[in-house]
Amino acid sequence: SPRLWPEVNLARRCAPQLASALLGTDAYQELLFPGGSMEMTLPVYEDAVVSRFYNDCLVAAVDSIVACLPDGRLLSVVEIGAGTGGTASSVLPRLQGVCLQYMFTDVSETFLNQAQRRFAEYAGFMRFEL
């Protein structure tokens, strides 16, 4: 099924080096993010069947919360371990105009820097923290 291609492509890339990654002779980060690129992993977090399902569930929850907000009330959101931004890309459009602050957190400065560029249109209410 074409809907499974994100996972298939990632498995094709990583499977041959799995043993060396587990043994620590190859850096797993380079397998998942070659040269710091998210090209291989981003589709897994945004387009894969399971990710799409859970991101859609989260969007529905956010829509419900926004619908219940009293007039003038704004949300503050913290996403812990935001990584590639797969979840943020789903919910940010729904939060524009109703979010005081969206804190995008991760343990990787690379992810934070890429997210700042990717989500520049939401800079008015986004923060990026390690």
102 beta partners: 77, 126
What pLDDT score does 4 carry? 83
Residue 1 in this model has a pLDDT that exceeds 80: no
What pLDDT score does 3 carry? 77
Place of tokens 């399902």: 53
Arithmetic mean of pLDDT over the chain = 92
Confidence of residue 57 (pLDDT cuts 50, 70, 90): very high
Q: What percent of the chain has a predicted confidence (pLDDT) above 90?
A: 68
Confidence of residue 33 (pLDDT cuts 50, 70, 90): confident
Q: Which residue has the higher pLDDT, 5 or 66?
A: 66
Confidence of residue 64 (pLDDT cuts 50, 70, 90): very high
Confidence of residue 38 (pLDDT cuts 50, 70, 90): confident
How would you classify residue 99: left for phi > 0, otherwise alpha for psi between -120 and 50, otherwise beta?
beta
How many degrees, rounded to 5, is the angle at CA 82 between CA 43 and CA 89?
55
Alpha-carbon Rg for the chain, nearest whole angstrom, is 17
C-alpha distances in Å from residue 69, one per residue of 31, 73, 127:
43, 6, 22
